[in-house]
Amino acid sequence: MENVQVLDQGYVRLVDHMGSDLTVVNAARVSYSKESFEWSDKDQRLIQFLAREGHTSPFRHAILQFEIYAPLMVARQWWKYIVGSAHYEGTGDNLDAWNESSRRYITEDPKFYIPSPAEWREKPENSKQGSGATISWELGEMYTQKLMEYVEAGIQNYEDALQAGICAEQARLFLPAYGMYVRWYWTSSLQAVSHFLNQRIAHDAQKEIQEYAKAVLELCKQVYPNALKELVLSKQLT
């Protein structure tokens, strides 16, 4: 399926999905042995009710699978939604799975996220986390160059170690970590995806993961437009 490009070299791809908006309302209606075969205003009212009242279990019957290519600093923020998936909002297991490529087994050319001079941000004035306004272009240009030199030195050391016979799982220690792109599959229920989106589209989320969350939302809207409108869009984009 379609890729949505993110940052300089990253992307989000919707690999597969199970179900539709009707899956959600029919999961709710099974309690009364009823089923809907074509979307109607009645279905819209039901999905609004489910989202508004926090009846989240029907949204766990719709599943999405993504392939994501992102810097490690984004991946490790994203991973919090896997390790915490068994207990948020008291819902129990919310159907999350994560499988990531490993440099123990592969030696493909490493790629790194390097902000352009216009993308570096100041530290915030009144917070210990997050970021503020964009710094001057001149200062940004200097730190883009510094980062490029740092990455190039790490790649050279990594390749030298491999050439010398060092195993890949140890040679990777030379690679600068947080900006290095990693690739993974994320399979998740619609409820869990919405939980991620509501937190990571928020204005106070780190800008880089905001961009990935917007890509996930763009792809999700193509297959679950009505559910996303109630679970996410009405909260974040109005």
Q: What are all long-range contacts of 77-83, with beta carbons under 8 Å and residues at least 24 apart?
A: 77/200, 77/206, 77/209, 78/186, 78/196, 78/209, 78/212, 81/188, 81/192, 81/195, 81/196
- Output the CA–CA distances (angstroms, integers) from residue 74 to 64, 79, 92, 211, in the order listed: 19, 9, 25, 10
Asked if 186 and 66 touch (Cβ cutoff 8 Å), the reply is yes
> Which neighbouring-strand residues pair with 10?
6
Phi-psi region of 39 (alpha: psi -120 to 50; beta: other; left: phi over 0): beta
Closest-CA residue to 117 (of 134, 94, 93): 134
Asked if 161 and 177 touch (Cβ cutoff 8 Å), the reply is no
> How many other C-beta atoms can be found within 10 angstroms of the C-beta atom of residue 162?
16
Phi, psi of 95 (to 5 degrees): 65, 70
Would residue 76 show up in a list of annotated catalytic residues for this protein?
no
Name the token pair of 58: 């029907």
Active site residues: 200
